[in-house]
Chain A
Amino acid sequence: AQSVSQHNHHVILSEAASLELGCNYSYGGTVNLFWYVQYPGQHLQLLLKYFSGDPLVKGIKGFEAEFIKSKFSFNLRKPSVQWSDTAEYFCAVNEAGGYQKVTFGTGTKLQVIP
């Protein structure tokens, strides 16, 4: 079974700082990878996803993530954060193909200070 680790539980940054949130998964086969964001009091929304092709994926709101297969990682990055990026960020993975459940990481709370 796959699992997802997000080692940063709580990150505090000042506006304009660069962001990198770590995500590692454990599964030996082909995977689909996702980053979801949950703004305070709201539901989860997709930021970006990787299925195949270019390992550098660009998402909404200036976010990007890089799939490094050899490191089983899918880290989320943003060059310059804004106060409105304050939210909980969830990495998720599922086995490609078939009826496979999506497994979420435990989330990283990002707090951006104006």
Chain B
Amino acid sequence: DTAVSQTPKYLVTQMGNDKSIKCEQNLGHDTMYWYKQDSKKFLKIMFSYNNKELIINETVPNRFSPKSPDKAHLNLHINSLELGDSAVYFCASSQDSGGNTIYFGEGSWLTVV
């Protein structure tokens, strides 16, 4: 079983659309994350949740809204998609946010056309 699973893996959509990426972890971890990796492979944290509560919210446009219905799920909803949103979005989890190993999902390749 995949420890951190995210869907869809590939997503091609037009500018202005709204889309969601779902993420689930079956590791029993308390903390989940969303990272964005751009075309230059730069990996930047977007959000971090601990036990369903938002603890890190980097400078991300309001069009991005994470939702954590329970500590095993952290979904990412994006409104009014723009060309610059094209990237690979990685969901991840860790036991806590104090420096334990982060386990990454396989990534969701988002292309906005």
A→B interface (CB under 8 Å):
32, 34, 36, 38, 42-46, 49, 51, 88, 90, 94-104, 106-107, 109
Contact = CB atoms under 8 A, between A and B. Distances in A.
B101 A101 contact: no
Closest 10 CB pairs of A and B: A32-B99, A43-B104, A104-B43, A44-B104, A43-B106, A107-B41, A99-B97, A99-B55, A94-B99, A101-B56
A36 B101 CA distance: 10
B106 A42 contact: yes
29 contacts: A36-B104, A42-B106, A43-B90, A43-B104, A43-B105, A44-B43, A44-B90, A44-B102, A44-B104, A45-B104, A46-B101, A46-B103, A96-B99, A97-B99, A98-B97, A99-B55, A99-B56, A99-B97, A100-B98, A100-B99, A101-B45, A102-B99, A102-B102, A104-B42, A106-B40, A106-B41, A106-B42, A107-B41, A107-B43
B86 interface: no
A43 B107 CA distance: 6
Contacts of B75: none
Given A95-B99, A101-B97, 16 more contacts: A34-B102, A36-B104, A43-B105, A44-B102, A44-B104, A90-B43, A98-B98, A99-B48, A99-B56, A99-B98, A100-B99, A101-B48, A102-B45, A104-B44, A106-B40, A107-B43
Nearest to B103: A46
A99 B41 contact: no
Majority-rule SS of B interface residues:
loop
Interface in B15-53: 40-45, 48, 50
A90 B44 CA distance: 12
Contacts of B105: 43
B21 to A, nearest CB: 14
A110 to B, nearest CB: 12
